[in-house]
Amino acid sequence: MREQRPFGRYLATLCLLLSAGSGAAQAADITFTARYVGGTDREFENTTPPSGWCNGLPDFCDGHTTVGLPITYSKVSVAYAPDVRDRFYISMPGNRKVTVTNNRGESHTLDLTFGSVSQNMWSYSSSPPPTMGGEVRGGCTALTSSWDEDPGDPSVPRYGYYAWWISKPATPTPCYSDSSESAPGERFESVIDSFSVGYNLYLPNPNRMRQGFYRGSVTYLIGPGMDIDLGNNVKNLNANSLTVNFELSVEHALDIRFPPGFEHAVLEPPGGWQGWMAGRGLPPKVHRDLPFFLWSTGPFSVFRRCEHRAGDACAIRNAQGRQVPVLVTLSLPRGASTGNAPVDRAPIPFGPASPLRIEQSTALSDERSQLHFEVDRSGVEEMVRDPGSTYGGEVTVVFDADL
């Protein structure tokens, strides 16, 4: 199950790119980037700089981060209009699941939700703006607002701003407001030149993601009845859609530590050779368990190479050219799996074409693991045909984080 992070943990800023032009409204784009560099935590690092209304009003943001959206427009609001879309109105989209995919076609899902909205506005109207006075209705609550004093000169525009919390970010309802100082039917014309939102970004668990670069996007339509709806009497809207791009970089850490002398694995019967030497019969196998310690923050693959081969198996050989196959298997601690099963004496395949793929639900830190080498009874029977000879061969086990 994908882990959900608390609100604000991944609130991040999007670097925006907007092609401005005259005529018809354009499509707007913003890009969010994050990276994970192997560690014992399970969190992406936000690599985009903060922007938006929280930068100017940090005391109201309680550590949350906002992003500026490249959306500008003008609007005429009618105070206390029967149709709330004629008032100062905004409707934001709810939770969206976004798929990010790497160049191998492997996909993961993140969630994007908007938690607040803020706009800056200019106006020549002498009446107070509909965002003043705290009379916010629908799916938002007022956080802050401000409006310049009347300069006494109708040719000088007045500046104001507001910020609202979205009450139910996952399933929002439209928000609208009227100034408590306005009379019913009073009109207010404003130009919105800055639009920003706070948002919740729940990223996948990077321990479950293979190393690489992931991309994805989601597009919101802007206009009446669309994902971002600004109500009626809107003019000069500069964009009819907003595409949010995501770029996630995952770079895992993988470290294997073997004890001194690991390069020599001496195969012996269970309990040693004393039983065989005392005439108590052929041992059922010869084997060696080689312990090591594993640090890993994400999926990796394991395969083997062999100095001598017997079919698909590695082999050990004596001076007379007689050889026997060696079974090479792997055991890993809890938190690692292969094919949704524990890694308990899992056979290690030959070569990188079809490796043993290891998945992780959490980072592994200094975890005891084992390689197992074994010659079965039939191999032992073959070996004792040349008493006193030595069998040997090299087996290379490759742990590869770059799948």
**Residue 278's pLDDT band (cuts 50, 70, 90):** low
Q: Quick one: average pLDDT of 318-340?
A: 94
Lowest mean pLDDT among 14-23, 25-34, 323-332: 14-23
Query: What is the C-alpha to C-alpha distance for residues 177 and 77, in angstroms, rounded to an integer?
Result: 9
**Residue 107's pLDDT band (cuts 50, 70, 90):** very high
**Residue 8's pLDDT band (cuts 50, 70, 90):** very low
Query: What is the C-alpha to C-alpha distance for residues 328 and 93, in angstroms, rounded to an integer?
Result: 54
372 neighbors 330 (Cβ within 8 angstroms): yes
Query: What is the C-alpha to C-alpha distance for residues 314 and 362, in angstroms, rounded to an integer?
Result: 32
Instruction: Summarize pLDDT for 287-307 with one digit per residue, the tens.
Output: 999 999 999 999 999 999 999
Q: Which two tokens stand for residue 3?
A: 């882990």
**Left, alpha or beta for 56 (phi > 0: left; psi -120 to 50: alpha)?**
alpha
- Is the pLDDT assigned to residue 142 strictly greater than 80? yes
- Is the pLDDT assigned to residue 249 strictly greater than 70? yes
Query: What is the C-alpha to C-alpha distance for residues 401 and 182, in angstroms, rounded to an integer?
Result: 64
Identify the architecture of domain 254-400 in CATH.
Answer: Sandwich (2.60)
175 neighbors 90 (Cβ within 8 angstroms): yes
Strands 323-331 and 346-347: antiparallel
What share of the chain in percent tops pLDDT 70? 91
- Is the pLDDT assigned to residue 13 strictly greater than 90? no
Q: Which two tokens stand for residue 57?
A: 């009003």
- Is the pLDDT assigned to residue 379 strictly greater than 70? yes
Query: What is the C-alpha to C-alpha distance for residues 194 and 118, in angstroms, rounded to an integer?
Result: 8
9: closest CA among 245, 200, 246, 207? Answer: 200
Q: Which two tokens stand for residue 165?
A: 């919390």
Query: What is the C-alpha to C-alpha distance for residues 65 and 397, in angstroms, rounded to an integer?
Result: 46
What share of the chain in percent tops pLDDT 90? 57
Residue 380 CA: distances (Å) to CA of 179, 268, 269, 372, 387: 91, 10, 10, 17, 11
158 neighbors 172 (Cβ within 8 angstroms): no
Q: Quick one: average pLDDT of 99-106?
A: 94
Q: Which residues contact 357 (CB under 8 A, 6 or more apart)?
A: 299, 301, 338, 339, 403
Query: What is the C-alpha to C-alpha distance for residues 343 and 339, in angstroms, rounded to an integer?
Result: 9
**Residue 361's pLDDT band (cuts 50, 70, 90):** confident
Q: Quick one: average pLDDT of 194-214?
A: 91
Query: Which secondary-structure segment (H or E) carries 144?
Result: strand 140-147
Distance of CA 263 to the CA centre of its chain: 39
CATH 2.60.40, the chain: domain bounds? 254-400
Query: What count of other Cβ atoms lies within 10 Å of the Cβ of residue 193?
Result: 14
* Cβ density class 293-312: b for 16+ within 10 Å, e for less: ebbbbbbbbbbbebebebee
**Residue 18's pLDDT band (cuts 50, 70, 90):** very low
Query: What is the C-alpha to C-alpha distance for residues 187 and 127, in angstroms, rounded to an integer?
Result: 8
- Is the pLDDT assigned to residue 148 strictly greater than 50? yes
Count Cβ atoms within 10 A of the Cβ of residue 136 and give its class: 0-12 exposed, 13-18 middle, 19 or more buried: buried
Write phi, then psi, for 208 (nearest 5 degrees): -95, -5
Q: Which residues contact 58 (CB under 8 A, 6 or more apart)?
A: none
Q: What is the pLDDT of residue 386?
A: 84
- Is the pLDDT assigned to residue 223 strictly greater than 90? yes
